[in-house]
Amino acid sequence: MHTILQPEGWAKPIGYANGVAARGRLVFVGGQV
């Protein structure tokens, strides 16, 4: 089970998610440097 994270005011991405929270409180983010 997971939850897509979409920050308020950010454009919805195409083909990926800005962030995903997974079971166990793991958080994965995309596009971060």
Each residue of 18-33: pLDDT tens digit?
778 877 877 777 776 5
Residue 13 has pLDDT above 80, yes or no: yes
Residue 27: partners with Cβ closer than 8 Å, 6 or more residues away: 5, 19, 20, 21
The pLDDT of 12-18, averaged and rounded, is 81
| Interacting residues of 18 by C-beta distance below 8 A, sequence separation 6+ | 5, 6, 7, 10, 29, 30, 31
Structural domain boundaries in the chain:
1-33
- How much of the chain, in percent, has pLDDT values that exceed 90? 3
Q: How far is CA 26 from CA 1, 9, 14, in A?
A: 11, 23, 23
Taking residues 4-17, report their average pLDDT: 85
Task: Average the pLDDT over 9-23 and give the result.
Answer: 82
